Structure 1
Amino acid sequence: MTRRGAAAVLAVLLLVLGGAGQAQAVGYRYWSFWDLSGGSWTYATQGPSTARPSDGDVQGFRFAVSEDSSRATKPRTKPDFDAVCGGTPARDGRKRIALVLDFGTAADAPSGQ
């Protein structure tokens, strides 16, 4: 192959490879973490390993597909604390925290699960 032929093959390869876009993920499957405040879910500013909820707080997790945290899917249930833990009396040195687990929808599940 001549130099001119090799240069032409290289140019074609660069055009083909350079023009191919990178694959983009539609979203991420993950458990988002939420706090119930004033009757509305808000995306938690801390993760569950560093959050320090108070007695009477409600926290939630939702498994879903989301592009990023600004578009994360909220838990579908909005209980108040009394609906979940109202029958549990307060005790010194203990915290009562209601926890909501939303396992998402069939569309959120990985294929075959």
Structure 2
Amino acid sequence: MTRSSLMTDLMAVIQDRKTRTETEKSYVAGLLRGGVPKIGAKITEEAAEVVEAGDEPGEEGRVHLVKEVADLVFHSLVMLAHRDLGWDDVEDELARRFGISGIDEKAARNKPAQ
């Protein structure tokens, strides 16, 4: 399985759980039933854990960081599904930004409308 197809497959599972949130006894279905407050709380929790793991030394810290980033990405995917978005939308945005200086890209977002 390629990495891109892994993300697509994972989004498909999350979308499947979304269609069955009322009957599904799953972690994802529970998050989706809780909406932005519940999903957002998990994203906030996981983001804090990423930062903490980023400061842990050695191989154990590296392994922990990867696991926490995976949790953060997963919960972000659930939020995307909640808003009827998919991984392709994220890839499209990253592709749009590719090759553009981060400073220039951020400045373009902050320009007032004319």
Between Structure 1 and Structure 2, the one with more helix by share is 2
The verdict on a shared fold, with TM-score over 0.5 as the criterion, is no
Q: TM-score range by the shorter chain?
A: under 0.3
